[in-house]
Structure 1
Amino acid sequence: MQRRQLLLSAALGVGTGLWPDAQAAASVPASGVLRLAFKAAETGFDPARISDGYSRAVTGHIFEALYGYDHLARPVKIQPLTAAALPEISADFRTFTIRLRPGIYFAEDPAFKGRRRELVAADYVYSFKRIADPAWMSPMLPFVLTAGMIGMDELRAAALAGAPFDYDREIEGLRALDRYTLQIRCRAPRPRLLERLASSDIFGAVAREVVETYGRDVDAHPVGTGPFRLAAWRRSSRIVLEKNPQYRERFYTGEPAADDAEGQALLKRFAGRRLPLVERVEIAIIEEDQPRWLSFLNGELDVMAAPGDGVPAAFIPHAIQHGQLAPQLQKRGIRLHRQLNADCSLYFFGMTHPVIGGLEPEKIALRRAISLGIDVERNISLLRRGQGVPAQSPIVPHTSGYDPAFKSEMSSFDPARARALLDAYGYKDRDGDGWRERPDGQPLTLEIATTPDSGARQADELWRINMHRLGLRVKFLPAKFPEHLKAARAGKLMIWGFAVQSDVPDGLAALARYNGAQAGSQNVSRFALPAFDAVYERLEALPDGPEREALFLQAKRLAVAYAPYKITAHLLSNDLTQPWVSGYRRPLFWSDWWQYVEVGQLS
């Protein structure tokens, strides 16, 4: 009991203030086991059927795409992963020829009937086609269709018309030229297709035999060529990965910039070491902030890091002081890793919802009024404990199209203007009860999806205060993250908030949330505006340059004007590692990093 009280007092920043070094030293775990926690449950491990960051963090370590990111390079650099080299790209950016490295094998699995199964070009053909198969209802479908692979739309259309999806039908846009050569041909230029091919969490190779063996249960049997394989799984509770004994000889390398002291130090320490550096990864699902924080303080977790926000917001004042790690944590040898992320927190408005959706002027006015009524600075101060900067557009830091000088009403807090908008478009209190009705006189209640945790309750209270100031009634709909995600994809939510992380260095990824062709997947609001889609298509085809930057500006202005989302902040991460953890560096765009850390050695 005395030890529990000490930990609780330390976590809350009250009481004794003791952070004994001996406590940290006594908790050094066995070498080679990385322990971490997710703040929300996974939804499964089938790359074709997931989109949430927690599930993708796991699949990114089990499956492998053709390409990956140099873990140390800043600015980021794409490098071959299962490919033998960077692709041969035609001058018009329409044809990509990729040669695989021979001798890469899938992890052992009964689906292979005792054979050692080599990765071949046909596996990527199958994996991309599977995302297009209507039977799997993949939320990643738009990423395949917007690539414009010649023949893919027609293949999918035949299946939608009632025929079985024909995986054996060759299409011009996606072919295995031989055992180790893949060719992709696109209808229109795709200058940044390489970035998409570097997403192991989505576009990692899946073996056809595994899918045909396990069917719909394949999400519980992820079999890839990556550094880890699934060893144990209790849904929404515990995930265990272990080193893949079939993993090829792959070694720690990187090209950090000459003035990147951290990157240079990591390269010096780990260069030439075989990956992965740990034997096992144990993940606990701990949704409440306080138990997760106490678990770290007690040495039961090795890191507080991505996916997630690092130090929980409620404990920022006790862990971070003036942008530095608190002295009591420094004394324990804990290290802080801090950066502005390529992410944003947002609220979406369901564009098919009869009350708040649509492109009619009064619906646009309602969404803009709600947005103007949200006190972004207070939101960041209270919910994020100041660990963020107000967002001006959907485009996130570190990506093309992001301009720190761009300003818009996205971050404005103007209740007077919000009330004037509501009055002008007929949202008035007709019966004198203090609450506004809809222009047709029907009741108006904002239904806001929320989660049953302490952090969400504070966010709910801010919503209540902000909307009551405008005369808008609110109702909260509590459920867990996976349930809301499913409802959001189905277009059944009115308002919901979450954070998103870019997985490519192109700002177009953020604009996918506004692209009508991606409604129900990345575009959870189901916003559809032909003028915006036309800009999106041009952005997709143009190479980087001034013309493309001008289009980004146009897209940002449309996004702000029609307000299908309220983008609130770009977040600062404050990740912590225990003194016995070495090698941690938060990725900018990729989800895999567990293979690059060493556990069990004090340094």
Structure 2
Amino acid sequence: MALCAAGPASAQAAAAPKVLRVTFLASESGFDPPQISDVVSAAIVTSLFDAPLTYDYLARPARLKPNTAVGLPEVHDNHTRFVFTLRPGVFFTDHPAFQGRPRELVAADYVYSIKRYFDPLTRSPTMFQWENVGLLGLSELRKQALATKKPFDYDTEVPGIRALDRYRFEVRVAQPAPRLPYLFATPAVSGAVAREVIEAHPGDTMRHPVGTGPFKLGRWVRSSRIELERNPLHQHSVHDEQPNADDAAGQAIARQMRGRKLPMVDRVEVAIIEEAQPRWLAFLNGELDILWVPPEFITRAAPNNLLAPNLAKQGVQMRQLVMPITRHVYFGMEHPMVGGLTPEKVALRRAVGLAYDVQREIDLVRHGQMVPAQSPIPPGVSGYDPKLRSEMGTHDPARAKALLDLYGYIDRDGDGWRENPDGSPLQLELTTEPTQLARQLQGLWQKSLKAVGVKISFRIGAWPENIKASRAGKLMMWTTGWSAAIPDGTYFMDLLYGPNKGQSNASRFNLPAFNTLHERQRQLPDGPERDALIQQGMKIALAYMPYKASGHDIQTWVMQPRVQGYMPHPFMRDFWRHVDLTPAP
């Protein structure tokens, strides 16, 4: 009788779906690749859409590998022509626009998807990534649409990206672009959409993602909950990662997972939890499987960067990684209070940077989970110089006061606060979000600037609201950051490139000397010559201070005992495609 009773129960347990529960601390904006720029939306999009290439999940440093392509692209003509060949038999998830027929991914889908970035109606905040590499003919198509006020012409073939046949497409650029393949490894930049689906939802594509990725969108409650369901049509991903020979943890994961089809879980439940304490408690209560430990709870999770004994006894696992992220405050370079390239405005920004106590932020707010920034470029990307020591990482109130005095920012009326050189009030305004972390940062900024006699107030807004205002150039200062999508320092130099104003260049910094230098380094292969140009660009950034970089995140991740195969990757945001769960007892 006991054996008979166990049979159905065992079958039911085996059939139970594997549900991975994770969280993000900020809201999503939607799920249409060319319309997004936030980290949360990019992570979800990476699960829904496929780029031709991807990264080896376990290789360090980051290494490209094929995804929907049969191999890495053919490179011709000094990195100005690339040919991608797709594997047959990759299919989109079902949608009424396909009229009940299987819809295969073909070369024309990537051509259409990249062209969408240049369509004025798309209003892409990340078009700069394609525009900067100089895809031939696409900017001209965009200008034509803007000038004639006619719909963007998707059907005109341009040399920049065109289909050669059903499964091959060609990319051509005006100048050498040695790192262009990285863009084709990022679904949030080059994920393939189906034209029929986009045209079926005019003006509403952010809510209707249809791709070939490992998951499809299930239940979605905006700014609260996102559910991803396994895509049964996704059959082309297999765990065949190649970690370094000296990476014991990576080698163990590779042995355990090799050959398994991806994804391995049936559903991913993403909760948006902005405040740190509820995130931490949700993990302790077993409601989350993987958690990036909030810095304010790091001493409970990993005192002295070792897993807490009480968690270790429960079988909790831990991973750490210095991420290619730069936390910064930007100054609106077109704002009359802090912007401009005149000596007194440069002095003001540099004084503010020197006044701010970065180490206090690391100790009190980040709880040691950040390393000081010496420039906007973080570890893990090309051009990063670990030996650099600069004013960016210096806290020196005395120098800040001296700079302010020298350029006429003095207290004229004896109230203890400095005025502008022309006698008008000097009142800074820093934009932040309504979170506990933001409130702590406000306190640090207020204390730091009070010490040098500068008034500061705070504009509090939700993340989507602040992004919108930032792109419109309406913010004086904003405490935000930039996370690398690719292992290329260009991605951070883009923050200072004049033509990127309103996109990645939130500060709207525009200096011809920097623009020229940036354009030169983009054409060079990785090596000492290019590194020297990047370092020269960073010196310009330090001199003019459009950004005050504070640090680069150390991320500590904890996982419940049932989680298998998790390893943080600096550029793959949808880690859940590589994760498995042990069956529930």
Q: Under TM normalisation by the shorter chain, which class is it?
A: over 0.9
Q: Give unmatched runs, 5+ long, in structure 1.
A: 1-28, 305-309
Q: Which residue of 2 aligns with 1:246?
A: 233
Q: Which residue identity does 2:178 align to in structure 1?
A: P
The answer to whether the Cα contact below 8 Å between 2:265 and 2:577 also exists between their aligned partners in 1 is yes
Alpha-carbon distance between aligned partners in 1 of 2:362 and 2:345, rounded to the nearest angstrom: 27
The answer to whether the Cα contact below 8 Å between 2:46 and 2:188 also exists between their aligned partners in 1 is yes
Relative to structure 1, is the Cα distance of residues 371 and 194 closer, same or farther in structure 2, using a 3 angstrom cutoff?
same
Alpha-carbon distance between aligned partners in 2 of 1:498 and 1:324, rounded to the nearest angstrom: 29
Q: Which residue identity does 2:225 align to in structure 1?
A: R
SS at 1:146 equivalent: helix
Alpha-carbon distance between aligned partners in 1 of 2:24 and 2:575, rounded to the nearest angstrom: 15
Q: Which residue of 1 aligns with 2:135?
A: 149
Q: Which residue of 2 aligns with 1:16?
A: none
What displacement does 1:542 show? 0.8
The answer to whether the Cα contact below 8 Å between 1:366 and 1:421 also exists between their aligned partners in 2 is yes
Percent of matched pairs sharing the same residue: 50
Q: Which residue of 2 aligns with 1:13?
A: none
* Residue from 353, 359, 368 that aligns with 1:386: 368
Q: Which residue of 2 aligns with 1:224?
A: 211
What TM-score comes out, normalization by structure 1 length? 0.93
Alignment of 1:262-277 (within 5 A): 262-277=249-264
Relative to structure 1, is the Cα distance of residues 582 and 265 closer, same or farther in structure 2, using a 3 angstrom cutoff?
same
Q: Which residue identity does 1:428 align to in structure 2?
A: I
1:514-570 deviation line (CA, Å, top 9, x unaligned): 111111111111111111111110111011122111101101100100100011111
Q: Which residue identity does 1:548 align to in structure 2?
A: R
* Residue from 34, 41, 44 that aligns with 2:20: 34
1:27-58 deviation line (CA, Å, top 9, x unaligned): xx965101111111101111111100011010
Alpha-carbon distance between aligned partners in 1 of 2:373 and 2:435, rounded to the nearest angstrom: 25
Q: Which residue identity does 2:24 align to in structure 1?
A: F
Q: Which residue identity does 1:582 align to in structure 2?
A: Q
Q: Which residue identity does 1:111 align to in structure 2?
A: A
Q: Which residue of 1 aligns with 2:75?
A: 89
Alpha-carbon distance between aligned partners in 2 of 1:535 and 1:589, rounded to the nearest angstrom: 26
Q: Which residue identity does 1:94 align to in structure 2?
A: T
Q: Which residue identity does 1:265 align to in structure 2?
A: A
Alignment of 1:99-498 (within 5 A): 99-161=85-147, 162-304=149-291, 310-498=292-480
Q: Which residue identity does 1:276 align to in structure 2?
A: P
SS at 2:203 equivalent: helix
SS at 1:322 equivalent: helix
Alpha-carbon distance between aligned partners in 2 of 1:314 and 1:172, rounded to the nearest angstrom: 52
Alpha-carbon distance between aligned partners in 2 of 1:452 and 1:551, rounded to the nearest angstrom: 39
What displacement does 1:589 show? 1.4
What displacement does 1:249 show? 4.1
Alpha-carbon distance between aligned partners in 1 of 2:271 and 2:35, rounded to the nearest angstrom: 22
The answer to whether the Cα contact below 8 Å between 2:21 and 2:268 also exists between their aligned partners in 1 is yes
The count of aligned residue pairs is: 570
Q: Give unmatched runs, 5+ long, in structure 2.
A: 1-14
Q: Which residue identity does 1:367 align to in structure 2?
A: R
Alpha-carbon distance between aligned partners in 2 of 1:192 and 1:581, rounded to the nearest angstrom: 34
Alpha-carbon distance between aligned partners in 1 of 2:16 and 2:466, rounded to the nearest angstrom: 38
What displacement does 1:354 show? 1.1
The answer to whether the Cα contact below 8 Å between 2:90 and 2:236 also exists between their aligned partners in 1 is no
Q: Which residue of 1 aligns with 2:58?
A: 72
- What RMSD in Å do the two structures reach over aligned CA positions? 1.3
Alpha-carbon distance between aligned partners in 2 of 1:250 and 1:420, rounded to the nearest angstrom: 59
Q: Which residue identity does 1:344 align to in structure 2?
A: T
What displacement does 1:331 show? 1.1
The answer to whether the Cα contact below 8 Å between 1:581 and 1:602 also exists between their aligned partners in 2 is no
What displacement does 1:209 show? 0.7
Alpha-carbon distance between aligned partners in 2 of 1:501 and 1:57, rounded to the nearest angstrom: 12
What displacement does 1:248 show? 1.8
SS at 1:135 equivalent: coil
Alpha-carbon distance between aligned partners in 1 of 2:211 and 2:556, rounded to the nearest angstrom: 31
Alpha-carbon distance between aligned partners in 2 of 1:124 and 1:245, rounded to the nearest angstrom: 22
SS at 1:267 equivalent: helix
Q: Which residue of 1 aligns with 2:45?
A: 59
Runs of at least 4 residues off by over 6 Å: none
SS at 1:325 equivalent: coil
SS at 2:475 equivalent: coil
Q: Which residue of 1 aligns with 2:538?
A: 556
Alpha-carbon distance between aligned partners in 1 of 2:527 and 2:435, rounded to the nearest angstrom: 45
Alpha-carbon distance between aligned partners in 2 of 1:72 and 1:212, rounded to the nearest angstrom: 38
What displacement does 1:507 show? 1.1
Alpha-carbon distance between aligned partners in 2 of 1:299 and 1:169, rounded to the nearest angstrom: 54
SS at 2:121 equivalent: helix
What displacement does 1:590 show? 2.2
